[in-house]
Amino acid sequence: MIVFRGAGKRYRPLFRAPVRALDDLTLEIVPGEILGIAGPNGAGKSTLIALLLGFLAPTEGEVRIDGLPPRRYVERHGIGYLSELVAVNPRWRAEQALARYATLAGVPKREVRARVDRAVDELGLAPHRDKRVRALSKGNLQRLGLAQALLRDERILVLDEPTHGLDPLWTQRFRDIVAALRRPDRAILIASHNLDELQRLADRVVILDRGRLQRIVVPGVDAPTGRATYRIVVARGVEELPAVHPGAVALGRGEFELRDVELEELNRVLAAVVARGALVASVVPTRSALERHFREAVGDGAGDGR
């Protein structure tokens, strides 16, 4: 569906050396997939999205959507897009803005009202539909941006920092919306700094740094190896964990941290604790598997791309 073949982008500022924002990206995104895009600031995420939307042309390699250059595909079929910064005329009312975006997107006039009503209901904007955009809170403005991205029911959706500004309730609701949007003929790309959201939502996560693809992770399958820190909650027999593992750090209320342990060691400790009659309520890594992959791939460095 979407193919990057050795795609690269160089910016050539006046009086300065060229900046390589994206370098030799080869990647295929298939129908039915939710792809996460992660990376530090300046890693190349925005350039990748701009190439995909046809805002920029690659200086090396190529990008194709269903065999077409991105700009041609967008002109013929459209792509649902939520930009990182939602910018809407502050004097427009929310409903009016959606109607105008629907018209600009080519929605037939007879369908505009129904599409707007559906988007308003889906994003919980009914109490705000008559408010001017400048009166909307940051979270409601973000939901307005999401609503306009869903107006045409596109086969490709590109969502850049979609949960930015959303409260916990609407962050959870966003997960439900994405789950409902998944279908066999649709590809969804989500660029986010929120690794926990990508861990929950994405089938694969592309990790970029300094304009290069560093790693592709399959959440829930690709477990990083090595030592990690785990948080353990003991519901009964609290004294057994430090007895078995004196290095356990008590956090209070039956909660402990086991720091810098191998997975095999963790399992041995848990087996011994349970054998002594303790009841373990939960065991979670302090960093998600995706976060650990991210740190292994990127480290503490910052990207140099855009």
pLDDT value, residue 222: 67
Rounded mean pLDDT of 74-79?
Answer: 94
| Joined tokens for residue 29 | 């995104």
For residue range 137-148, list pLDDT tens digits in order: 999 999 999 999
pLDDT above 70 for 306: no
pLDDT value, residue 228: 86
Q: With beta carbons less than 8 A apart as the criterion, state whether 204 and 210 touch.
A: no
pLDDT value, residue 227: 83
pLDDT value, residue 303: 43
pLDDT value, residue 276: 96
Rounded mean pLDDT of 139-159?
Answer: 96
DSSP helix/strand/coil, 73: helix
Say which residue the tokens 């609503």 belong to: 147
Confidence of residue 288 (pLDDT cuts 50, 70, 90): confident
Q: Which long-range contacts (CB under 8 A, 24 or more apart) does 11-15 make?
A: 11/306
pLDDT value, residue 225: 66
Query: Residue 9: left (phi > 0), alpha (psi -120 to 50), or beta?
Result: beta
